[in-house]
Structure formats: C-alpha cells, structure tokens
Structure 1
Amino acid sequence: MLHEIASFIDAINLQQWRLKRPHRFVFLCGGKLNEGAETPCSVREHFLRRCHTRKELAAGIPIVLAEDVNQSFSPAKFNDLLELEKYVASLSEVNILILESAGSIAELGAFSQSSEIASRLFVAVKDDRHPVDSFISNGPLLFLEKSFGEEVVSNYPFISEGETLRASSPVVGDLYQDVFGIVSSRSIEEKFKPRSKSHIMNLIAQLAYLFYGVTIIEMQSYLNRLDIDLDDREMRLMFHALQLVGWIQRRKYKQFYYYVATKGFSPSAVAYKPKKKNDTLRWRFDIFQELKKKNDFRVDVFRRSLGEAADEVAA
C-alpha cells in the first residue's frame, strides 16, 4: 500500500463521513415493454414514454431497467437474478415498482425484506389487480405502509383491455409527477453506516475516485484498514453492481484490471479525524505524485478513462 494512501485512510473519520450518491438514478420494475409499438402494453411502457427519454426520468436522472440488470446477470457470480436486483436497488435513489406482473410481485416480496431497499420503494398499484382484501394488499403492501408510511404505496385507476392500456395518459402523468416529486425531495447525504451494503459500495466508489483507480485486491486491503471485512465473493458482487449502475468502470492495462470513477462523478466531502490534514485536493495531489514516481499504470488508465477531466483533477 502506498504511503500516501495509507496515511489518507488513517486520517478518514468514517463515522462522520456523510455520503452522497455520485450519480443519481432510479430503478424501474414492472410489466413487459414494447418499444416502437403504437400502443403501450403495460403501465411501465406507458410511464417510460412519459419520461424525458427512455433512459432518463428527467434530464440528468438516468433510469435503470430490470432488463438492464437481466442482461448483466451471471449465474456464476450471483445466486439468482433477484440477488443482483437487490444490490442495484440498494444504490438507487428511488425504486419504482409498478405492480402489474408476476415478476413485479416477486420483486415486491424480495425488496420488502430489506429495510435498506424498502425505505426507497415506491409501489404503484393497479386498482383492478389487487383489491383491498387481497393477500398482497393485506401482506407486503400493508407492511410497507405501516413501516415506511402510506405514501410508499399508491393506487392508480389504470384501465386494461387484454394486453393494452386504455385511456390512461392523465393517470400516467400523475404517476410521473408523484415519482419525480419523491426523487426531488430525497435527502442528498446519508451518514455512513458500516453495516449498510449500499454505503459500503458508495465508499468503494469514493475511494476508487480519490485514488485514481483501484484493483479489487487493493480495495480489500483499504477496507480492512477501515475495519470493514468483506469476503472475495461479496467484494466482486459489489464491483459488478457498481459497474452496472455506472458509478465505476473497469479498464485493463497489460494484465491488470483497474476500476476508475466514471465521467461526471460527484464525490462526497471527506470527513477527517481531529488534527489530521483535511485538504482533500492536497491529499489527491500527493497521491497522484507518488503514483507517478512509481510509474504506476493506473495514471495512464485514469487519464484515458476521464480524458481532459483527468488533468483538471490531478492538477
């Protein structure tokens, strides 16, 4: 471990570090999609057509779809698809779950079991699918309302005819405004919690940014120095999820894989212990200079990944 990196880690006051998400995004789950078709086949498809683009809820707020997670799923890494979805959901600003399919019902059950995910859930219920006396209404939906407030679950009078949605544009507009309002009102910073998977993943991304890129083995040693112990499997799962949501990217140089922050990364202000150097820009400059002296490959990887922004950060 480089001397400057070790000194920096020892100066961090992790208990007082307030983390913010370096990139905001929403996770959208629900019915099937039919992009390009004249008539939406689901509420989720209708909702996407109401958004800024199919990739953004609003300008600067990307949408991650359940399909994106499915494409990234590897049975060799994760026990099942829901395990990967839970990692992604824990990082999301808001998890929008439109309850209109068997898959979304399974996601409701899985997400409700994690308070970290459930606290960021917004469930849109089709009135005709889940009446007030149904198991789902009296089970997971009631649990969410009692645990996190009635605003977590909202009912909308979507009207279905076969597999198409009829005359629901005004209702979908209401749904969009509700979701956008929730995203806009979310707390920007959260005090670090050592048992929170999402906070540990955020910490990994922050350190990858601060140190101009890291390997998985290096990150394991950095976290150990902060008294955070993760086994190799969990570490790799977290790196996989962080790449999927666009917080870090993997770059290969010779035989080495480095993970660097993505463009537009918005770092959290570091909290330092008393009587420790508390100038983050100075710390980063000193770390960069030590890397250059050692002819470390990651300097070139970092510059290629971020382009001109790299010179500004390292200056």
Structure 2
Amino acid sequence: MPDELAILYNDINQDKLRVTRPSKLVFLCGGVISSVPHSKAISLRDYLFRIRGIEKKLKGPIVLAEKANQLYRETNYGDLISFEEDIARIAAVVLVIAESPGSLAELGAFATNNTIARALRIVMQAQYANTESFIRFGPVERIKRVERSFVGFYPWRINQRGVVVTGSAAPHYGEIVKFINQHIDKTPASELFRNLGDAKQFYVTYWVIYLAMAVSQTVLHGYMALLYPTLTASDLRNRLYCMELAGWISKESYSGKDYYYTLSSADPFDYAYKDSVREKDSIRRKHKITAAMQKIEAAPNHVRTVVVRKRGGSR
C-alpha cells in the first residue's frame, strides 16, 4: 500500500482543511409514487417527482426513499435507519412530505434522530398549521422551533380516496420548488473538515477514489485502512452505495472487477498543512501517490477511457 497516502493525510492540518461537497443531494420522502406509466398522481410527492419532474428545477439531485428497497441485496446494512442516517450525513436536504401514515411515522423517527434532524425539512398541508395533534405539536413543532423556515405549509387537498387533488397543488408548485432550493442554497458548497462530524469518512473515501482515478473495492479498503484502521469492508461497501446514490461516484464493471471513480475531475480538498511540514507542493505529492496506486492496481485502458469520458476530460 502507498505509504505516501498516509503521510500526506497525516501532514494535513485538519482544522484548516476545506472540502468541497460533490453534490447537494435531496433525500425525498413522502407518499407513494405510482409505478404505472402515464397514470394520475396519487400523492403530492408523486405529482412533484413523476408528473412535474421537479428534479429538473432543483439545484441538486434527488434520491428517493424507495432506493432502500435494494438495501439488503446491495449493502451490508442491518436496518433501514442506519442507511437513512448515512444518507442524511451527505445530504443537503432530507425532505419529508407529510401526507401518509408511512411518511408521518418516518417524520416522527427523523425528528428525534439528531443525525437526520440536522438536514430535515418538512412540507405539510396548510390545514394542519394550527391543528392540535401529536404530529403537529410533536415532531413538526420540534423542527419548527429550530428554525421556522424549516417547515413549509401549502394548501393542497386530498380527496376521500386519499389521493392528491392535483389542481389544488398546481398553483403552489413554484413556491415548493423555491422552498426546496432555498434550503439547498443554504447548504455550503464547501466546509471545514473539522465540522463534518460523522461524514468525514465519506469525504476521505471520495478523496482517495479521486487520487486513484479508478479503484476496486478490495484495493480501496486497503488504502482506507491506512487512514482508518477500524473501517470494515462492510462499512466501506455501505458508504460506496450511498455515495453512488448521491451521484458522487460511479462504477464500471469490467472483467472480474468493479472499478469505482469520482464523477468530478476536481480535487475535493483545499489543502492546508501543519506548520511542521516542509513539503507543501500538493500537486507533486498527489502525482506521487497516484503513481504508487497505479503500480498496485492499474485500471484497464477501457476503464480509464470511460472514467475520462464521464468526468468530461482528463485530470
């Protein structure tokens, strides 16, 4: 394993290091989204996402809660909440449209989970703005007290069959888009590393993948073990799954391996070094690390071509 990687990481002043967020992810929860093509909307979330295509209007990609259906096949998560916590760690916004029994239960769980509540924003029917209920004066009030703007009330209606009345939602579509984008905008494009909390390992993993250009999971785990000796292969697999959902990374399956790569050609780190460090030429040091990584695992030409194309050019 390239000792240069561990040396560079240890030379970084983590109090002054800034990291760039690869994307401002929106984790969208709420009512059911219909799987029937060209059918009418059955929930506000269905109307916003499937009928109106709201993702095109937002300043960040959407990940649907339904992605959790693949958890037990593609990850090592033992429970749903652990996945939701990890997504919340890298999300700009966790948006719950409180419109169904399932989404209300989800809202209650999220509002009392400190990891998720940090990014939690709520869209709710205006008729419940002053209604006395456990939900309104429980989890909703808890988030509202943190910041009034975290909860958006809109006067859409639901018919007797529990289906959204799209005509009542349509006039408020633009304001809902504005509400979400305002909270995306409030999420900084870059942050001090020391303020990232439990999200630090996601950003370091992303950085290591960037340096490697393309890397298999097994080799990546070896690199990460130099920096985080207690990181398990299962935990790494889970993080890669979340980062792929978020649009931070992708993978190319070729021959007997899956190669992970970042979807941006920009280094996520704005380097700051400890005062005692003499070698502060980041470009030279990164080149040396990448060269050492290529000796351990050189991606095939096909994979390298795909990576360069997906990144929009060479690094």
Structure 2 counterparts to residues 211-250 of structure 1, below 5 A: 211-226=212-227, 229-250=230-251
Deviates more, 1:11-20 or 1:35-44: 35-44
CA shift for structure 1 position 187: 1.6
Query: What TM-score results when the alignment is normalised by the length of structure 2?
Result: 0.83
- The runs of 5 or more residues in structure 2 that have no matched partner are none
Structure 2 counterparts to residues 13-32 of structure 1, below 5 A: 13-32=13-32
Q: Which residue of 2 aligns with 1:90?
A: 89
Distance 2:90 2:308 in 1: 26
3-state secondary structure, aligned to 2:251? strand
CA shift for structure 1 position 134: 0.4
Distance 1:271 1:301, change over 3 A: farther
CA shift for structure 1 position 23: 2.2
3-state secondary structure, aligned to 2:28? strand
3-state secondary structure, aligned to 1:31? coil
CA shift for structure 1 position 97: 0.9
Name the aligned partner's letter for residue 184 of structure 1.
Answer: D
What do residues 164-194 of structure 1 show as CA deviations (whole Å, max 9, x unaligned)?
A: 3142212232111111122123222222248
Distance 1:186 1:76 in 2: 28
- Aligned: 1:281 with 2:283: yes
Name the aligned partner's letter for residue 136 of structure 2.
Answer: S
CA shift for structure 1 position 24: 2.4
Q: Which residue of 2 aligns with 1:205?
A: 206
Aligned pair count?
Answer: 309
Q: Which residue of 2 aligns with 1:151?
A: 149
Indicate the percent of aligned positions where both proteins have the same amino acid.
26
What do residues 100-159 of structure 1 show as CA deviations (whole Å, max 9, x unaligned)?
A: 01221232133223333212111011134675310111211122223x312112222111
Deviates more, 1:259-268 or 1:167-176: 259-268
Distance 2:98 2:24 in 1: 23
CA shift for structure 1 position 305: 3.5
Distance 1:260 1:76 in 2: 18
CA shift for structure 1 position 205: 1.0
- 8 A contact 1:206–1:267 mirrored in 2: yes
Distance 2:118 2:83 in 1: 18
Distance 1:213 1:200 in 2: 18
- 8 A contact 1:15–1:192 mirrored in 2: yes
- The runs of 5 or more residues in structure 1 that have no matched partner are none
- Aligned: 1:303 with 2:301: no
CA RMSD of aligned residues (A): 3.1
Q: Which residue of 2 aligns with 1:105?
A: 104
Distance 1:131 1:83, change over 3 A: farther
3-state secondary structure, aligned to 2:61? strand
3-state secondary structure, aligned to 2:76? coil
Distance 1:265 1:29, change over 3 A: farther
CA shift for structure 1 position 236: 2.3
- 8 A contact 2:215–2:259 mirrored in 1: yes
3-state secondary structure, aligned to 2:84? helix
Deviates more, 1:234-243 or 1:304-313: 304-313
Name the aligned partner's letter for residue 131 of structure 2.
Answer: V
Q: Which residue of 1 aligns with 2:175?
A: 174
Distance 1:4 1:277, change over 3 A: same
3-state secondary structure, aligned to 1:48? helix
Name the aligned partner's letter for residue 138 of structure 1.
Answer: F
Distance 1:40 1:23, change over 3 A: same
Distance 1:82 1:283, change over 3 A: same
Distance 1:113 1:276 in 2: 47
CA shift for structure 1 position 43: 1.3
Distance 1:196 1:219, change over 3 A: farther
CA shift for structure 1 position 204: 0.9
3-state secondary structure, aligned to 1:154? strand
Deviates more, 1:233-242 or 1:282-291: 282-291
Distance 1:223 1:232, change over 3 A: same
Query: What TM-score results when the alignment is normalised by the length of structure 1?
Result: 0.83
- 8 A contact 1:251–1:301 mirrored in 2: no
